[in-house]
Structures are given as C-alpha cells and as structure tokens.
Amino acid sequence: MNLFYQGNLSETSQNIIFDKEESRHIFKALRHKVGDTLYITNGLGMLFTAELVEVSQKQCLAVTTIAEKKAPLPYYLHMAVAPTKNNDRFEWFLEKATEIGISEITPILCDRSERKVIKVDRFEKIIESAMKQSLKMYKPKLNELTSFSDFIKLQSNFNGIKCIAHCEDSEKELLKNLVQPTSNNIILIGPEGDFSYKEIELAQKNDFIPISLGESRLRTETAAISACHTVYCNNL
C-alpha cells in the first residue's frame, strides 16, 4: 500500500487533484493507470480510498470511493528538542519519532545550543515522508524554533505530565515509571552540552519533573527517540 498526502482535503472531499510532482511519481515511477485504487490521507486522521480517473505526468485526478476517520494515537506526546549541530541527526529524530508515533514537535533554543537556525520547510518534508512510509493518518505538528523560556511559559496551563531530561546529578524519576497509558505528555530534551542550571531550575519551578532514561549517557537525538519509544511502549 502506497499512502499519499494531501493536507487540503476535508472529510467530504470527492475530487482529489495531485500536483505535478506527485502526478509524475504516480505516472512514471508507480506506473498507475486509470481505474487503479489510491490511498490518500489529509494528515488529520482521514483515509480516502480513491479511483484514478485521469493519469498523466502533469496532473492526476482521483475520485473518492470511501472516506473513513481513523483513531488517533491513544496518547498525546509533545517533544521539545534542541536541534543538533549536525542537522542529519535531528532529521533522523524527526523521521523515527514520526514512524513510532508523536503528536507535536517543538525545536527549542537553549543556552548551550550549537544550532540556532533551522529549515522548517525541509523538516516538514521529512515528517511528511515518514508519515506516508509508516502509514500514519495523523501528521505530527511541527512548530517554529522557540526559546526555552518562551516554551516553558507556553506550557503553564498544560494538563498532563511535564518532564525534563538532563544530566545533572539529582533525584530523577524513570520515565517508564512515570508515563501512564492514554496520558498527555511533554518531554524536554536538551542540546549536546545539556541544559544550563538556570534552565533546569526554571523548568522545575514550572512543574517539570526531572526524568532519567536509564544509566547510559545519550546523544540528544538518541535520548529523544528513547523517550518517544518509552511513551509508545507504555501505551501498548
């Protein structure tokens, strides 16, 4: 099954028009013909089964035959992660987190951040590709780069579990013991130089719980994936 993404579709959409890039892929790479069945999602939970009625490398048109709403993740997970100096590592996190199951991602700018500029459009394409590859009907929300202090303020009314993973020697809870099935979760993962003491203190003053992901010292992207997978496994 090949899954296509059309973010502008509503629950009642009937005619689905593919842009030139997708049309070329359907026509030349996949070699679809009139009458073939395609599967399309809008990234908001809808799965459309559609029949191709027009096929060319400039434009393909499909007509919806079945439209069904799929269940969302049984949990809410918002990961706030400092972009890594090596962009490939953060892109790997975006891809794998999308495949596993994540609701929202915010790149955060910290005191010790080495990367202070991101390409949101490129990150969106990576998420979209991973969503299609893993047959996810919900596209994770990607936010703009946000300062650590602003992010903390934005979560003041969050109804759920708020966590911060850091490397300082202090009392911490194992994430796997903290996360509950069907819970709402925010997890902060810092840059490769870790959060500053000031940031850790600010987070804890705003009800973020210090967490441990185990005994190993992990890279930023590994820690983020480990946390994502822990939440996923606690909901199986």
Of 12, 62, 71, 72, give the one whose Cα is nearest residue 40: 62
pLDDT (tens digit per residue) in 163-181: 999 999 999 999 999 999 9
**Superfamily (CATH) of domain 3-69:** Hypothetical PUA domain-like; domain 1 (2.40.240.20)
User: Got the DSSP string for 153-187?
Assistant: HHTTT--SEEEEE--SSS--EEHHHH--TT-EEEE
Residue stretches of the chain with pLDDT short of 70: none
> What pLDDT, on a 0 to 100 scale, did the predictor assign at position 32?
95
Is the Cβ–Cβ distance between 99 and 130 less than 8 Å? yes
Length of the chain in residues, anyone? 236
pTM for the predicted model, two decimal places: 0.95
Fold of the CATH domain 76-233: Alpha/beta knot (3.40.1280)
Residue 44 is given by DSSP the state: B
Q: In this structure, which amino acid lies at residue 202?
A: L
> What pLDDT, on a 0 to 100 scale, did the predictor assign at position 218?
95
> What pLDDT, on a 0 to 100 scale, did the predictor assign at position 232?
98
pLDDT (tens digit per residue) in 69-91: 999 999 999 999 999 999 999 99
Scored b (16 or more CB within 10 A) or e, 26-54 reads bbeeeebeeeeebbbbbbebbbbebebee
Distance (Å, rounded) from C-alpha 102 to C-alpha 115? 23
User: SS3 of 76, please?
Assistant: strand
> What pLDDT, on a 0 to 100 scale, did the predictor assign at position 127?
98
> What pLDDT, on a 0 to 100 scale, did the predictor assign at position 41?
98
> What pLDDT, on a 0 to 100 scale, did the predictor assign at position 143?
98
| Ranges of each domain in the chain | 3-69, 76-233
Stated as kind and residue range, the H or E segment containing 130 is: helix 120-133
Which CA distances in Å does 209 have to 28, 136, 194, 206, 216? 52, 30, 16, 9, 19
